[in-house]
Amino acid sequence: MKTSIEFLLDNSLVTVDCHPRSGLSPTTTVLNYLRSLPQHKGVKEGCAEGDCGACTIVLGELVGGRLRYRAVDSCLVFLPMLHGKQLITIENLKSSDGTLHPVQQAMIDTYGSQCGFCTPGIVMSMFALYENDVTPTESGIRMALAGNLCRCTGYKPIIEATMVACGRERVHRSLEETERTIKLLESISSDSIVLSTERQTYVRPATILEALEFRRDHPDALVMNGATDVALRITKKHELLPLILDLSGVGGLRGWSEAEDGVNVAAGTTMEEFLGLCHGRYPALAKMLGVFGSPQIRNLATVGGNLATASPVGDLMPVLIAHRALILLRSTRGERRVSATDFVAGYRRTAASHDELITRVTLPRVPADTLVRSYKISKRRDLDIATVSSGFRIELENGNRVREVILAYGGMADRVKRAADAEAFLRGKPWNRPTVEKAMEVVGTDFSPISDVRGSAAMRTIAAKNLLLKFWAETAGNGGGE
């Protein structure tokens, strides 16, 4: 059991133990940590909630022996989450002789900065793209930059700068330097970590068994992984989180594997990794994930974390319900599988008991006669929480008769909820416009949504109905038809 964390900053190993003298705690954000150092003021706080990207930094990690880079919002990362990683900041980009990194030079050449306050964060997002050898399209760049707000430039020159820098032949760091970094990262122990201060205890187990035992013995411990939700309780609500169980160090909790009936996705898989998996295979999920948060948030947030928060809007949940996904809950007592529909127990409540952890999601294959679609209505396309979202599934027989249908909605009730009456109405009926228009009316009576800052009840009802019509319009030609 280690009582300190180690990470790489400015090419050196740094050890942090949250000793009182250090002024650091297990919930100190990486943003605040960096800004407390004299030489790392380049990182900026724009919102302290992951919505602006001014604090973007890049984490270097060993994946299969190679260095991979991901841009993240440093305001959402707690210091101990850096353990075993390389922390790369804007100050690290130019080479020792003062030569700028190609993305920096391109930003100057295209007038990509005006007031300059968002610029370090933007440059870091560009750097991650560059170093990961992504050759992005223009629309790919727009998506990659969607987590970085800029109020001055209108983004056009920044997109151009990224095109220019990533379009040229890449010049990477010297092999020697990379090897040294890899060696240093490999030298960091992956043992379990406990950090204690007078008022806080932070536990980062290395194995699932340790995690389950801790969960059993400390049911009140706050469970986190990517921290994108939990961090707001620190940065916005200034809470003290006395006991934290961080699953991000648990071996085997990340990635996916093929199973007989579909795909098993480990609960610690990040949303960005999950998006990669879903591309091509689960288009409805890929579509929803593509507008989930921003790259910086998807690089932190995990599948399990998203399910555990049980948001009434849901993000993944409506689509997982439509996919008839199964959620694996594990405890020291054993494990059980719960359907996505049954997993949602109430307002921000799930079916998991106090000693259980979400360890896996199973996504069944979608049969040929079945169509699954997802929709998200939000004020802004990217980095916005849905006003109404939905995951729809329809199984047709004889080409156009509804055998089975799932209409799962987020943002229409205190939890993600299926339009039960509309589903019942549709079963056995022809999948045509008159039926759908009648079903739309039933959707209207299935829910009594509230008015809030994201939209009025009237808007939500119109949207929920319209989405069914949109689903029909999109699927009618796909074996449905009038």
Q: Which residues inside 451-470 make contact with other proteins, applying CB under 8 A?
A: 453-456, 458-459, 462-463, 466-467, 469-470
Sign of dihedral through CA atoms 6, 173, 69, 57?
A: positive
Which member of 1, 63, 108, 209 binds other proteins (CB under 8 A)? 108
What the block records as the tokens of 198 is 């007078």
125 vs 270, which CB is nearer to other proteins?
Answer: 125
Which member of 56, 113, 269, 350 binds other proteins (CB under 8 A)? 113
As measured in angstroms, the least distance from the Cβ of 146 to other proteins is 5
Cβ–Cβ under 8 Å, residues 86 and 63 = no
As measured in angstroms, the least distance from the Cβ of 394 to other proteins is 17
387: contact with other proteins by CB under 8 A: yes
Tell me which DSSP letter residue 228 carries. Answer: T
154: contact with other proteins by CB under 8 A: yes
147 vs 268, which CB is nearer to other proteins?
Answer: 147
As measured in angstroms, the least distance from the Cβ of 433 to other proteins is 10
Region of 222-230, 278-286, 330-338, 380-388 interacting with other proteins (CB under 8 A): 380-388
85 vs 454, which CB is nearer to other proteins?
Answer: 454
What the block records as the tokens of 426 is 């549709």
210: contact with other proteins by CB under 8 A: no
344: contact with other proteins by CB under 8 A: no
Touching other proteins, residues 279-338 (CB under 8 A): none
CA terminus-to-terminus distance, the chain: 65
Region of 150-158, 278-286, 355-363, 410-418 interacting with other proteins (CB under 8 A): 150-158
DSSP-H helix ranges across 172-229: 175-186, 208-217
- How many CB atoms within 10 Å of residue 39? 9
- Tell me the per-residue interface mask from 230 to 269 with other proteins, x by CB under 8 A, - otherwise: ------x-x-------------------------------
The residue among 192, 201, 208, 207 whose CA lies nearest residue 222 is 201
Q: How many CA atoms lie within 13 A of 278 on its CB side?
A: 27
Task: Using DSSP, state whether 453 is helix, strand or coil.
Answer: coil
386: contact with other proteins by CB under 8 A: no
Touching other proteins, residues 20-39 (CB under 8 A): 38
CA dist 42 and 258 (Å) reads 43
Cβ–Cβ under 8 Å, residues 406 and 337 = no
- Which contiguous run of DSSP H or E holds residue 15? strand 12-16
158 vs 340, which CB is nearer to other proteins?
Answer: 158
66: contact with other proteins by CB under 8 A: no
Which member of 213, 369, 384, 395 binds other proteins (CB under 8 A)? 384
Which member of 8, 59, 72, 123 binds other proteins (CB under 8 A)? 123
CA dist 393 and 375 (Å) reads 12
As measured in angstroms, the least distance from the Cβ of 25 to other proteins is 11
As measured in angstroms, the least distance from the Cβ of 97 to other proteins is 14
91: contact with other proteins by CB under 8 A: yes
Place of tokens 């694996």: 328
Which member of 43, 72, 165, 416 binds other proteins (CB under 8 A)? 43
Task: Using DSSP, state whether 345 is helix, strand or coil.
Answer: strand
Give the chain's length.
Answer: 482
CA dist 245 and 50 (Å) reads 22
Place of tokens 């900026």: 44
Which member of 118, 266, 300, 442 binds other proteins (CB under 8 A)? 118
Which member of 28, 29, 86, 153 binds other proteins (CB under 8 A)? 153
Cβ–Cβ under 8 Å, residues 296 and 77 = no
Sign of dihedral through CA atoms 455, 471, 469, 402?
A: negative
